[in-house]
Each structure stands twice: as structure tokens, then as C-alpha cells.
Structure 1
């Protein structure tokens, strides 16, 4: 299904406009984007990835822009979901009410998977990037130096890396609480430095080669830990929800061959969504409902 966009975003809700303008100036990138948002999509044909989303135009437009915002700020999916839920500047850019509850982080991944499999969607993103470059010049931000496909793959890399890092950090925290003695027997010396400081974050602005090298190191740590759990022959340990979730993530994000684990190079192609496709569509449909009530 195709939809030609026109004025797909309603006016910025009054409370959102008042709150955003009291904090940010007109030269703020997100406020400038919100002021021009309908012109960014003028005449663009928006595709419905599943052919079942009710009035998808605004939903699709939001996801295109969120992908761009993630790239601009080097935000993985979970951080972007928080920004959409909490930040006034993002809500202004997307013409959302202050009470907008946000979208699931998995919605962003599902959208990128579609973008990378659909040439038309990728071309649409490129058109939006070109138009948005004028906004970036006015607000002092550097223009986009990568083509749309590379931008999508960069956001995939950030999100996938954050996911595996968060996963193993969470597992080690759970094991430290539930199986501290066992964890001491398998703990590797560098784990505390890499995962033990909860205030530490990944340097997501590093070069792709550095990010992929870190992903490889995390993969090896996770593979070692999962093998140690398997060798323990402890069903209660092996069936912890966090362990089962980590197994699925490692299956999605890594390839195991000839005793060596390797980071997948396929962007988000193998990511498993924690929600069913029906749930994804319901999340997207909610945007249209809230547009009418805003």
C-alpha cells in the first residue's frame, strides 16, 4: 500500500510548543525540524511495510525521523525510546503531545529491517536527509556525509552493540545476586572493568571498526559464560529468564563456526523482535489514534 503525504503532521500541540520554546531557541535542531516537518515529506510516497497499518503516513514519517535522530545523536534503540517518551524537543519535532507514551524500542529495529530490504524506503530516507540538510545548516549541525543505507546500518550497529553489552552486564548482575559463589569460579579478570561499573557507557562515537572489535570481545565473553552455564548442569541456572534471553540474543547477533564466534555483518537482519508483528502494528496504529486526540 502507498500513501502520498501532504500535511501529515497536525500543528504542534499547544502545551508541547510552550514547554519546548521556554527551554530551546528557534535555532535548536529539533525545533527547526518541527517547524519544517511537513515540508520534509511534501509529495513523498510513504510505503506501508506490512500492508496492514491503519493510516500509516504519520507513523512512517515518525520512524524515518527517529532513525535520523538516532544517527545524529548516536543513540541506540533503548535510548531513543527513552528520548521519544521523555524529551520535549523530540516531541516538538514530531508534533506530539507531552503525554505521548512513546513506542517500543523494537519498533525502530523492525522499521530498519524493512528499510534495508526495500529500495524505495531507502530512497525515501535519502530524500528526507537531503531536505533536512538545509535545516542542519541553519542550526549549525554538520550535514550528513553518509548515504541513507549507511546511516541505517550505523544505527543498527549502535543498537546491536548496546543490546549485547546491556545483556551480559545484566546477566552478571543477576548471577552476582543469585549465584555469587559459582560466578567467582568462572569470572574472568577483565569482566569487572568492562561490565561491573554500571555508570560506564560504551563510546558509541568510536569508529565502526572499534565498535565491531568491542562487539567481538563481548561475544567471546558471552560465549564463554554460556558454555560455563551449560557445563554447570544446573537447570535452575540455565533456565533463568535472563539467561534464556541472552542465548537468543547471541544466536541472533553472532555466528558460531569451527569453535569461533563471529559478529554478524548483516545489520539488523537477524534481530528477533521481543514483540510479535501484531504488537508492532498495534504500537504504530496508536500514533494515528493519538494524532486525532491531540
Structure 2
């Protein structure tokens, strides 16, 4: 479908009268139209669509519906119903009152198009330009950043299930691209093993037998494709199978396929380990008591007192990436948008002495955040005594005074305390 600019983006007169009569004070959807004249126009999306073909729905309207859907926490069905029934939605989208709207599945297709080639960032840039022009967000004000975990659209798989699913996905890819090449390779046993999705659980029957034939079958298929089907070697599922095989198996000195054990040959770290053959970018991560497979989203928004909070940046990273590595990227993106803050509020995951110095030196940003908590294994078990703990502050000396003979820590600033070395008599006794 192509995009054809609408003859006008003004709100129909009848829609204006009914919307004003039913909502004299206005709504959030109506404010988007009144203060911003809509966030986007169809011309902003012209490069996303072909020039010829049947005209499609207005991408500017679909993008605005996605924003309203997020603000009001609506599902796709609820958002499509709001476009059909709510007058303020028709006002925000400059639609006639008798416009039937669209099917809810259109929103899914539009978001899939939006996720390609960094288009979401481009859309955010266009919206922020209009928001800055309206005076709702300004540079060198206060902003804050926090991260949240995003689950990948994949199922949690055990190691055996992961190899089985990777093998099944690779066979399906070969069946689509070169079905005649699998006639002499695939047997009835392969059909039983990989003919349907793996549902084995954590305690499958005969695990050692499954591990053995999974490794042999995978190694055979990879060698066959590498030798006889070199044109299909670069297929996404074949490469996914290769990565899954390498992180779970190895070839020993006798050319045998062996299962990787953590205490013997080791396994790749979570930053590089594949968790699903259907999404090679998803990773496993753990933060505190939260464990997930997916990504991290770092959301930055303005937070001036008495002003509207506006999202100024959304940065997505793999799940195991530390927040401290994402902060310089966020500052660079804000600088490109001319929206650098004067004061940046963050949580403990983003703070460090080096980052505070770098933010002040490169961008003149005052980074504000709590001191990072101890996250070592001993501290999680409660076996670590803090440096300022009274149990470690055995004696205190104030300049010009004698040591405290009672041996009890003083109740003043702990930074003036230090440990008194033991005498020879104390060490011998």
C-alpha cells in the first residue's frame, strides 16, 4: 500500500462542535490536536511506503493512536473501538463522525513497520521537534532516567529444548528453500523428534539419550548443509542452529560430539548465549530477584516542577548490559536532539565517580543519584561488614587528643575514624 497525503488535516467542523459540546474542558486526546496540531503528518512517513499501489490508512493517524493507546493503557481492540466510538479520538485524528475507523490488526502491522531500521527514533525526533516548538520541553532543565526489563516474545527453554527447537527451525527453513534436498536426509525418526514444538520440561525422560542423538543429528545436518548446500549456509535458522550447537556441544579429540558441562568445558556467558533460535538478540539476565530473557529499556523524561512530563529518549539494550554503559549513549542521543539536561536524576545503577566526572566535563550535566549498593555474593548473603560499620571501627583518634581508652566508636563523623593497629602485647595475647 502507498501513502497519499490527505487533502487537509484540519478537524471537520461537525466533529469540532460535538467534541466541544461533550467535552468543554477538553481531554488528553483533544490537547494533542489543540496544542501540537497533531504529532505527525502523512508526509513524515512517505519514505516508509511505496509510491504506487492502493492507498492505505493514514500513518500519522495510526501513530497518534499508538500514543493514545499507551497513555490510556488500551489493548489493540480497545484502541480500535475508541477510534470508532469516542468523539475526542475522532477530534484528535481529524476524522468525520461517521468514519468507521479500522480493524485492530492494523495496529500490529503498523508497529512491525515502525520497528524496522530505527524508524521509532525518527518518529520520536519528529514529535519532540513539535513539542519543543510548543514550549512543553526545553534544554538544560531537569530530567530523570530509569530502566525496566522487557520480555522477549519467546518461550523459556531448557538446554535440551533449545537445541531441539533450533534443529526444528532449521529443518523448516530448509524445507521452504530446498525441499528436494532433504529427501535422502530426513528419516522417520527425525520426523518424530522434530516434527512438533519441544515440550520436555526440566526433567525429560532419558536425558542422556536425548543429548546424544540431538548432538549427532545437529552435527550431521550442519556438515551436510556446509558441504552440499553452501548457498543455504547463511540462512538465519541455520546460523542460529550453529550458534546453539557451539554453546551446548563440542567436538573432542576423537571427533565425537560431547555435551558441554559447566565444570569441564564451560559455557558462554549470558551476554553472548542464545536463549531462543527465533530471536538471536534476546539474552538472559538477573537483577536482584528478577530474572528474565529479553532486553532493557532506558526511559528518559523531563521532570520539572509544575510542568508536563515528556519522554525525551528511549534506549534499548541487551538485558545483561549494565546501566553505567548506557548512560553515555543516552547523553549522546539527548545532545543530538538538543535536549541535554542541567540536572539528571538517576538510580544507583547509573552512578559512579567516573560517570559523574564525564557528564560534568563533556556535557555540563550534574548527575544526581544514590551510592551504588554492594552486589557481591558475600554481601547478598549478609557476610560482609561495611567499612563504616562500628564493629570495624575499634578505636578513634581526634587530632590533638589521645586515643579513646574505652575502645568504643565515637558518635561523630565516621570519616574521621580509623582503625587503631594492635600493639605487640595484644597480638601475643
Give the TM interval when normalised to the shorter protein: 0.3 to 0.5
Q: TM-score scaled by structure 1?
A: 0.42
Q: 1 or 2 for the larger relative contact order (CA 8 Å, sep ≥6)?
A: 1
More helix by share: 1
Q: Which has the higher strand share?
A: 2
